[in-house]
Amino acid sequence: MKNVKTGVVLLALLLAAMAMVPFVGATGQNATTAPADNFATATVDVSKIQQPLLTFDKTQNPVTVNNEMTLDQTTTNLQPATLAAAASSPDAVKIPYGVIIRHSADGMTTVFDSTGKQLFSASDAKAAIINTPNGPARATHIQEVPDRSVIVDAGQKMYVFKDKALIMTVIDEASPKRDAVLAAAASTYPSQYIEGTETNVLPSIGQFIARWNVPKSPAMISPYPADGNPYKGSQVTIWNGVFGYVGSDPYSRLLQPVLEWYKKDKISDPNPTTGAWTMATWYLNSGLVPDLVHSTRRTLVYSGDNMQGNIQTNTLGYDAIASIADLGPQGGGSSTLFLAKTTYPHRMPGTNVQATVVLEGWDPTILPGLNGQYLCGSTTFQNFVLNDAKGNNILSTPMNTFTNPTYWNPTTFGLGVTNNWPSSIKLNTINN
C-alpha cells in the first residue's frame, strides 16, 4: 500500500489558461502557452475534499472490463446494469463525470458515481491488457480524461479536475505487488525501443518542443488476436520526452505527448482492421501498479501532417504542462494535460533530466518474425526548443543517438539515426 502524505496541494486551476492551445507564431516556433500574468491560480486543500460514503452492492456480479475507461460528460443517470453491460463490451467503457474508482487490496476495482453508489466492479486480473507508453497495464487502471484536465496526484489518491470541477477520484488501496504480466524486463533500453536520441544529463529542463512528420503508414499490420493481448498487435509510437536519468527516482511522474499507430481502441480508431494514426498526451506513473491517464485521444491524423510535442516543467504554477498538436491541413487538433504541484514526494523531475525523441514499436520478444513492412516510414524531428529552468536556450547541449540492435536488427528494419542536432534528427527505417 502506498503512503499518503496529505496537506495542501497547490492546484493551479485554469481560468484564462483553460483556453490555451498551441499556436504557431510568425517565426514558426510554438509559444510557451500563455503569459504568466494572464494566469490565475487557486489553492485547493485536497484533505478537505469530502468523499461520500461508498455504498457497495454485493448483489452485482463483477464484470470483465475489456477496454480502457473513458470519462464522458453525456453519460448521466444510467442504471448500474447498463454500465455493467458496457464494461463487458469491446469498446471503451464510458463512465460519468464525478466517478470514484477504488482499487482494493484483493485485486478488485469498483466504480462509484459521485454520490457513492456502486456502478460496477471488476477483477483486475480478468481485465484486458492494454498497451501503454509505460508498458502493458490492466484496463481497469487506464482512464481517458477530457482535454486540458488537471491531475492532482497525492499518492494513494489521485484527483482529476476539469473547468475547476472534480470529475474523477482514484483511490489506490491495492497491494504494491506487481502483476507478473506487467513486469518489465531489465535492459538498457526496453525491448519496444527501436531508435532515438537523448541528451546528456542536464541540470534542469524548463521546456522541450519538437516537431516531426507523421511518417508513411506501415504497409502491413499484425492484428490484435481475439484474446486482446496488446503485445500481439503491431502498434508503433513516436514521441518526445523529458526523463529522469537512469538511477533517478523510479516513481517519478511523467507527462508525455505521443503519436500512436494502431492503438487498441475501437472507439477512436476509425479503421481498426487496417490501422490509423491517433495522438494523446499521457500521464505516466512508473510506480507499482499505477493508474495511467491520457487526455482525449484525437483522430484525423494523417501521414504527412506535422506534429508538435510541447513539454514544460515547473511553469504557471504546475509541475508540468504537456501537449501534442496536429499542425496538418486537416487539423487533428491538440490534446493537453496539466500536472499540479503536490506535497507527495514523487514529482515529475525537472532537474538531472534528459530530453529524448524515440521511435517505439511492438515487443519483438513476444511478436517475433515481423519484417520492416510492419514498421512506419522515416521520421524527421526539427524546430527544436530546449530551455533550462530559467528560460535560457540550451540547444548547444550534446544529443546522443542510439539504436537497439539486441531486439531490432538494423538491416531488417533499415535503422539508423541521422543526427544534425539542433537543426534536425531523422529516425530512418527501411520504408524511406
Structural domains of the chain in order of their starting residue, each with its CATH number: 52-181 (no CATH), 185-428 (2.60.120.700)
Give percent of the chain with pLDDT exceeding 90. Answer: 48
Cell 443517470 locates to 77
Res 73: pLDDT: 87
Res 284: pLDDT: 84
Confidence class for position 336, pLDDT limits 50, 70, 90: very high
- Half-sphere exposure at residue 102, Cβ-oriented, CA atoms within 13 angstroms: 21
Task: For the chain, give the number of residues.
Answer: 432
- Half-sphere exposure at residue 327, Cβ-oriented, CA atoms within 13 angstroms: 20
Mean per-residue pLDDT for 80-105?
79
Res 306: pLDDT: 96
- pLDDT surpasses 60 at 139: yes
What SS3 class is residue 323?
Answer: strand
Confidence class for position 222, pLDDT limits 50, 70, 90: confident
* Weakest mean pLDDT among 36-45, 234-243, 256-265, 325-334: 36-45
For residues 396 and 175, the model is more confident at 396
Largest CA distance in the chain: 63
CA 208 to chain centre: 17
Positive or negative: CA dihedral 346, 282, 14, 116:
negative
Nearest to 365 by CA among 37, 142, 135, 128: 135
Nearest to 263 by CA among 171, 162, 348, 335: 335
Mean per-residue pLDDT for 197-213?
95
Q: What string of DSSP letters covers 98-156?
A: TEEEEE-TTSEEEEE-TTSBEEEEEEGGGSPEEEETTEEEEGGGEEEE-TTEEEEE-SS
Mean per-residue pLDDT for 3-30?
32
- pLDDT surpasses 50 at 164: yes
Mean per-residue pLDDT for 267-283?
75
What does the alpha-carbon distance between residue 153 and residue 139 come to, in Å, rounded to a whole number? 19
* Weakest mean pLDDT among 269-278, 371-380, 419-428: 269-278
Mean per-residue pLDDT for 342-371?
83
- pLDDT surpasses 60 at 14: no
What does the alpha-carbon distance between residue 320 and residue 277 come to, in Å, rounded to a whole number? 25
Mean per-residue pLDDT for 400-421?
97
Res 258: pLDDT: 96
Mean per-residue pLDDT for 35-55?
62
What are the grid coordinates assigned to 293, written together? 491517464
Confidence class for position 41, pLDDT limits 50, 70, 90: very low
Mean per-residue pLDDT for 250-266?
75
- pLDDT surpasses 90 at 113: yes
CA distances from 257 to 245, 269, 308, 335, 343 (A): 19, 18, 9, 8, 25
Res 186: pLDDT: 40
The structure's pTM equals: 0.84
